Amino acid sequence: MIDYSSIKLGVAKKILFLLGLTFFLIGQVLLSRGNEYIYAQEPIDFAHWFLLIGVVLLIPQTTAFPNKIFTLIGAPITLIGIVCIIGMCVL
């Protein structure tokens, strides 16, 4: 019997990952426009919000790494990078 719940969960993680990359890309494009553009954004700083939402949507994909030796190194480094980007967006 096919376990459809795990298939749906895998597809959901991929959709969240792609959505997160899209938000992250939009945030990076907004940041590339310069400091004047960032400071002129009203009422909130949209660039950092796009980065924050995008990075949070990338978190579920870190559990989808294959079980290999590189996962023991790559998953923690990825999570550390995500936490660092979240910290940057909050400050």
pLDDT over 90 (residue 25): yes
Read off the pLDDT of residues 27-37 as tens digits, 9 standing for 90 and up: 999 989 988 88
Read off the pLDDT of residues 52-87 as tens digits, 9 standing for 90 and up: 999 999 888 887 777 888 888 888 888 898 899 888
Radius of gyration of the chain (CA): 16
Distances (CA, A) of 30 to 4, 24, 39, 50: 39, 10, 11, 9
What integer pLDDT is reported at residue 44 of this predicted model? 82
**What does the pLDDT average to over 37-57?**
87
pTM: 0.79
What integer pLDDT is reported at residue 1 of this predicted model? 56
Distances (CA, A) of 83 to 11, 14, 58: 24, 20, 11
